Every structure is written in structure tokens, then in C-alpha cells.
Amino acid sequence: MAKALTASNFNFPGQKKVYKGKVRDVYTLENDILVMVASDRISAFDHILPKGIPFKGQVLNQVATLFLNATQDIIPNWLIGNPDPSVAIGYACEPIRVEMVIRGYLAGHAAREYKSGKRILCGVTLPEGMKENDRFPEPIITPATKAEEGHDEDISREDILSKNIVPEEIYRQMEDYTRALFQRGTEMAAERGLILVDTKYEFGLKNGQVILIDEIHTPDSSRYFYAEGYEERQAKGEAQKQLSKEFVRQWLIENGFQGLEGQLMPEMPDDFVNIVTDRYIELYERITGKAFEKSESTDINTRIEKNVVAFLETI
């Protein structure tokens, strides 16, 4: 079994601070440069699972780069370059503490809320009579507050503006960008036989300008269905074939874990870890149309440090 990158502890030239998230380790350098290392950690229900998923970080990094490059005509983004399969280097921005979640279909969190009887999500009224995985008449934006730790929380557009969490002019830009990015992602997914079901975008400010930051359209931030057979499965009330992290959540639920107090994280058998790796690689190949090339994994930390240091000397 290939090795997984579950932790990093670099000291790059000009390094000022380090932030370690659920999946990414972010190193801030002088001159407002960020080195973002995509680890192979995997999280669900706001908990990091006990084992890493080999090559997951590489998949996330390379898929995000594909879409960042493909949407530069819509909005500028933070990315400068990718010195390593698992690393992105870009500009530090002031993050806007609202995640812009956009949903084209009633799936995941929205479906669970709907099933519980709720018909208003983040201030948006949901149509009656929908089945799980039905398409919305139009994509809906259901924002969430971006928490430093713990759960992100649903919030309405009205609360964001009334509490002045984001100025109205900036928020309107974020809404417009979110819809345009989702449309581009939907079109690109359709070319590959996939449906972009829902996703989230994060934005920041650089010199007063709204900038797209973090990752986009990856299996960690998005949900994809296979287009072929979608209508038939819906008509029969069958589960959709999907490429996303939802199957990991479902496995956890089946094993008695939803991140609630008192619940114990189940042990992940190696065969399940291999299945998760295969799912991530499958999404990469489906969305890019390219064969996945596994990076050298004998000593991942040494490889990353060498590649990053060499790249930093060129910028």
C-alpha cells in the first residue's frame, strides 16, 4: 500500500507562520506568499479520519489547479504555480468569512434537512414534493459562516447583510461570481459525462478586489453524479452513482458515526482506504480526461521540500 502524507512540518525560507487545517497545511512566507500543502488527510462531519488516503492530496491539488486555470476569465484567483503534485503556491488574501455554497440538486446536507421537514434553507424556500437528488428549478445559494474550528453554520443572505458580516456590494459580487463559476463547472463536468451537483467557493480580498481562493470543484468541496442513467435512477427511486466524499460519510453513518458527542470513530480497514483512493483517482480521470500519474511516495516530505524551495527561488 502506498504511503500517505498525513502531517508536514516544513520550515521554508522566509516562513512566518503555519496554519494546519483539516486537510491542508498552509505556510505563510514573507511578501504575502502562501505555500499550501494538500495532505492525504480526509475529514467528514468536521472530524479528521484516522488514516490518510494515498494520492488524495495530489488529486485535490491537481483538480483545483485545472479549474482555477479554467476560470481566470471569470474571476482572478490566488494561484501562482504548482511546484509539486501536492502543493500550490499563491498570494495571501484577507479571507471573507462566508462560504458560498451553491446547489443544483437536492442532495447531501440539503436533502437531510428536507427529509427532516424543513422547507427553508439559509433563507431560501425549497419547493414541495421533491425527492432526494431531484434538480432544483434554478441553482440555489445557501451560504455558511466559515468557522476557524468546529462546524460551519448555515446562514441566510439577509443575516449576512443585516449583521454586516460582508458589505452588500462585496456580497453581491460573491453571488455573481458563484453563479458564473458554477455554470462553468457544470459545463465542464457535462463534457466529461458528469453532473456538478453542488459545491462551495471561498473568496478573499487582495488590494480591495474580490479574489477566488482555496480549492474549487474538487471531490472534497463538490459532489458529482454520473450523467448516464441519472434520469432512470431518479424515476426508480434508486441512489445516484456519484463521485464525491458522500460515500465516506455514508460509510461512517453505517458504522455509527456522525460526529456527535459520545460517538466513536470507526477503524478504517485497508481495503476501504484503497477504495477511497480509487474513487479519488477515478474522479480525477473523469473530470480531466487524463490518466492519473501517481507521484513518487517513498519520502513525500523530502520531495515536497526540495520542489518548493527550488520554485521559491524563481519568484
Q: What mean pLDDT, rounded, does the chain reach?
A: 94
* Residue 212 φ then ψ, to 5°: -80, 130
Residue 7 has pLDDT above 80, yes or no: yes
Instruction: Output the pLDDT for position 151.
Output: 63
The mean per-residue pLDDT over the stretch 272-278 comes to 94
Q: Is residue 8 part of a domain?
A: no
Q: Where is the domain boundary, 227, 243, 259? A: 243
Assign residue 210 a region: left if phi > 0, alpha if psi is -120 to 50, beta otherwise?
beta
Residues 152 and 230 in one domain: yes
- Measured CA to CA, the distance from residue 35 to residue 85 in angstroms comes to 13
Residue 291 pLDDT: 96
Question: Is 260 part of any domain?
Answer: no
Tens of pLDDT, residue by residue over 35-94, are: 999 999 999 888 999 999 999 999 999 999 999 999 999 999 999 999 999 999 999 999
Q: What pLDDT, on the 0 to 100 scale, is given for residue 146?
A: 74
Which cell goes with 103? 446547489
| Same domain membership, residue 74 and residue 180 | no
DSSP state of 150: S
pLDDT reading at 257 higher than 60:
yes
- Chain segment 95-130, per-residue pLDDT in tens: 999 999 999 999 999 999 999 999 999 999 999 999
Shared domain for 43 and 132, answered yes or no, is no
Task: Dump pLDDT digits (tens) for 173-195.
Answer: 999 999 999 999 999 999 999 99
Burial class (CB in 10 A: 0-12, 13-18, 19+), 14: exposed
Angstrom CA distances, 302 to 84, 113, 295, 309, 314, stand at: 11, 45, 13, 11, 19
Residue 143 CA to residue 174 CA, distance in Å, equals 11
Q: Which residues have C-beta within 8 Å of that of residue 106, sequence separation ≥ 6?
A: 114, 126, 130, 131, 132, 133, 134, 135, 136
With respect to residue 153, please indicate whether it lies within any of the assigned structural domains. yes
pLDDT at 242: 85
Confidence of residue 147 (pLDDT cuts 50, 70, 90): low
Instruction: Read off the pLDDT band of 152 (50, 70, 90).
Output: confident
- Is there a domain that residue 204 lies in? yes
pTM, full prediction: 0.90
SS3 144: strand
Domain CATH code at residue 175: 3.30.470.20
Same domain, 222 and 207: yes
Say whether both 149 and 181 belong to one domain: yes
**Would you say residue 149 has pLDDT above 80?**
no
Radius of gyration for the chain, computed over Cα atoms and rounded to the nearest angstrom: 19
Whether residue 163 contacts residue 156, with contact meaning beta carbons closer than 8 Å, is answered with no
pLDDT for the residue 150: 55
Alpha helices in the chain (DSSP H): 56-70, 108-115, 157-162, 168-191, 230-236, 246-254, 270-288, 300-312
Residues 43 and 131 placed together within one structural domain of the fold: no
The C-alpha cell at 279 is: 474513487
What does the alpha-carbon distance between residue 283 and residue 310 come to, in Å, rounded to a whole number? 30
Mean pLDDT of 246-261: 91
* Number of domains into which the chain is organized: 2
**Cβ count near 48 (within 10 Å):** 16
State which residues form the domain around 169.
Answer: 95-243
- Give me the count of residues in the chain: 315
Residue 286's domain is classified under what CATH number?
3.30.200.20
